[in-house]
Amino acid sequence: MSKMLNNRTDMPLQAVKTRIKNFNEVALGYTDDMAKTEASRCLQCKKLPCVSGCPVGIKIPEFIKAIRDDNLAEAVNIIKQDNILPGICGRVCPQETQCENNCVLKKSGNPIAIGRLERFTADWERKNRNRIIKTKAIMETGKSVAVVGSGPAGLTAAADLARMGHSVTVIDALHTAGGVLKYGIPDFRLPSDMIDEDVEKIGAFGVVFQLNTLVGQTQTVDELLEIFDAVFLGTGAGLPIFLNIPGENLIGVYSANEFLTRINLMQAYRFPDYHTPVKTGKQVAVIGGGNVAMDAARCSLRLGAEKVYVIYRRSEIEMPARHEEVEHAIEEGVDMKFLTSPVRFIGDDKRNLKMVQCIQMELGEPDASGRRKPLPVEGSEFSIDIDVAIIALGTTPNPLISQTALELRTSSKGTLVYEESTGRTTKPRVWAGGDVATGSATVISAMGAARCAAADIDRFLKNPSLEDKNNWLTES
């Protein structure tokens, strides 16, 4: 194999010493030359293995060829047929387990950097707004859809449905649109103004945004069904899971949701210019091993913590976080305590957190998740001094909507019961997709599910004979 095929083009990064003092993007993006060099490595395979690894089916070799041919407007148009949020996906998708995992060059250890090229294309579009050509004239259908939730699932469903000619209103509980993209993922991985621009572009399709509206309280799903022909629920999984160990209610113990929302949505890292404060510890322990844990740990460093531990009960191989995020966190000085589990938090006489007691773990046989089960090692307890702990163990859907909408069935995990291929829920005229149906997953899987649901809603709205559309439940 030639040298060029072997060499994947590296992503330029902010230097470690500089980046741990700011919230600016760590990955700086390819230059034109880097993108062309990387695009030239693509073999233009006829069988499209990479496309089958992408949940929204981007025509990967086609857009890479357009980059190689210096036709970036065409590259944008090709990507946008299938993915309305390429700048976001190019930055945060776990490409290493999706499209890039299927690339034939993976065998050599150097798959095409598909995500980086997608990001490059999207960034070119941001800089050259007026140069994008293709927009199809839309025939209005006279039908209306309420999309509840403005995360990646809601935004994708809204864009698709609007482009199909339906009148779409996106409703969100927060004062700004974007879901986890806006309140969870920090600016140093995903700049917040990029999300605002994408929301604005979706607004340009005629989508209306109704914010500060908590469905299940301000308006129920049944009330929405009186106004709209169909409802799509993309309300995510925003309810944090806790450890349920002694001391979890001490001062200084946060859920990652609250910690990251203060920092990202409410801009607490710019306090006092912004009004929301955040308690910044000197010694911080983040509990968990996913992207959320990495984000919380790296935010803590940037807020001035002297020591940040990530406490994870399995080993590095089992960590669900993206490999790149773990690597960046370690480079920045995060101390990974693998095979370790917290047993109790200990406070001082004023109930301020001062210590976490942990136990060493070892891996046993694989459990239901297929990963080896962590088991405590008897007599191995030890303590770490900390003044802030951040719990990042995952989330489940908030039950507010399912408790207030008759007929919406939920699973034992609190997710909405739905048909995966169509997004149909157990309630007529109501569809769902994204984390609310799967539990916390990924941006692109939420987008893929929303595209399936939007296609099915469109079929239903254009064919009233499908009215009794939720009989998939009785058929199965």
Phi/psi zone of residue 171: left (φ > 0), alpha (ψ -120 to 50 degrees), beta?
beta
**Binders of ligand SF4 among 314-333, rule CB under 6 A?**
none
Does residue 289 touch ligand FAD according to CB under 6 A?
Answer: no
Number of residues that bind ligand FAD (CB under 6 A): 42
* Complex with ligand SF4: residue 4 or 473, whichever CB lies closer: 4
Q: In angstroms, what is the minimal distance from the CB of 107 to ligand SF4?
A: 11
Q: Which residue do the tokens 């309280």 mark?
A: 217
Contact 257, 241 (CB under 8 A): no
What mask of x and - would describe binding to ligand SF4 in positions 118 to 157, judged by CB under 6 A? ----------------------------------------
User: What b-and-e string marks burial along 135-154, b requiring 16 or more CB atoms within 10 Å of the CB?
Assistant: eeeeeeeebbbbbbbbbbbb
Contact 219, 213 (CB under 8 A): yes
* Complex with ligand SF4: residue 60 or 450, whichever CB lies closer: 60
DSSP-assigned letters across all residues of 173-188? SSSSS-THHHHTS-TT
Residue 173 CB coordination number (10 Å): 19
The single residue among 34, 103, 145, 443 that binds ligand FAD, judged by CB under 6 A, is: 443
Q: In angstroms, what is the minimal distance from the CB of 306 to ligand FAD?
A: 23
Computed on alpha carbons and rounded to an integer, the radius of gyration of the chain in Å comes to 23
Q: Which residue do the tokens 């719990």 mark?
A: 391
Q: Which of 367, 189, 425 is nearest to 291 (CA)?
A: 189
Scanning 25-33, 102-110, 129-137, 399-407 for contacts with ligand SF4 by CB under 6 A, the matching segment is 102-110
Does residue 185 touch ligand SF4 according to CB under 6 A?
Answer: no
* Complex with ligand FAD: residue 301 or 443, whichever CB lies closer: 443
Q: In angstroms, what is the minimal distance from the CB of 83 to ligand SF4?
A: 15
- Per the structure block, which two tokens stand in for 317? 């191989």
**Binders of ligand SF4 among 21-60, rule CB under 6 A?**
42-45, 49-50, 60
Q: If contact means CB under 5 to 8 A according to the sort of partner, which of ligand FAD, ligand SF4, none does residue 90 touch?
A: none
* Complex with ligand SF4: residue 69 or 407, whichever CB lies closer: 69
* Complex with ligand SF4: residue 64 or 215, whichever CB lies closer: 64
* Complex with ligand FAD: residue 259 or 345, whichever CB lies closer: 259
**Binders of ligand FAD among 367-426, rule CB under 6 A?**
398, 400-401
The single residue among 53, 87, 191, 236 that binds ligand FAD, judged by CB under 6 A, is: 236
Q: In angstroms, what is the minimal distance from the CB of 259 to ligand FAD?
A: 9
Q: If contact means CB under 5 to 8 A according to the sort of partner, which of ligand SF4, ligand FAD, none does residue 159 touch?
A: none
Q: If contact means CB under 5 to 8 A according to the sort of partner, which of ligand SF4, ligand FAD, none does residue 437 touch?
A: none
* Complex with ligand SF4: residue 47 or 127, whichever CB lies closer: 47
Does residue 105 touch ligand FAD according to CB under 6 A?
Answer: no
What size, in residues, is the chain? 476
Does residue 299 touch ligand FAD according to CB under 6 A?
Answer: no
Scanning 70-78, 419-427, 429-437, 467-475 for contacts with ligand FAD by CB under 6 A, the matching segment is 429-437
Do the bridges between strand 307-311 and strand 430-432 make them parallel or antiparallel, or are there none, so unpaired?
A: unpaired
Does residue 214 touch ligand FAD according to CB under 6 A?
Answer: yes
Residue 207 belongs to what H/E stretch?
none
Helix ranges (DSSP H) in 71-191: 72-82, 86-92, 99-102, 114-127, 152-163, 180-183
- Per the structure block, which two tokens stand in for 225? 């069904």
Does residue 238 touch ligand FAD according to CB under 6 A?
Answer: yes
Q: Which long-range contacts (CB under 8 A, 24 or more apart) does 342-345 make?
A: 342/243, 342/245, 342/285, 342/287, 342/311, 342/389, 343/245, 343/381, 344/245, 344/246, 344/247, 345/245, 345/246, 345/247, 345/248, 345/250, 345/253, 345/389
> What does DSSP assign to residue 168?
E
Q: Which of 203, 195, 236 is nearest to 91 (CA)?
A: 195
Scanning 2-10, 170-178, 354-362, 409-417 for contacts with ligand FAD by CB under 6 A, the matching segment is 170-178
Q: If contact means CB under 5 to 8 A according to the sort of partner, which of ligand SF4, ligand FAD, none does residue 93 touch?
A: ligand FAD
Residue 406: CA atoms inside 13 Å, Cβ hemisphere, count? 3
Rounded to whole angstroms, the maximal C-alpha distance in the chain is: 70
Q: CA 210 to CA 219: how far, in whole Å?
A: 12
Q: CA 312 to CA 339: how far, in whole Å?
A: 6
Q: If contact means CB under 5 to 8 A according to the sort of partner, which of ligand FAD, ligand SF4, none does residue 202 touch?
A: none
Q: Which residues bind ligand SF4 (CB under 6 A)?
A: 42-45, 49-50, 60-61, 103-105, 112, 114
Query: For binding to ligand FAD (CB under 6 A), which residues are involved?
Result: 92-94, 148-154, 171-174, 179-180, 184-185, 214-216, 234-236, 238, 260, 291-292, 295, 322, 398, 400-401, 434-436, 440-444, 446
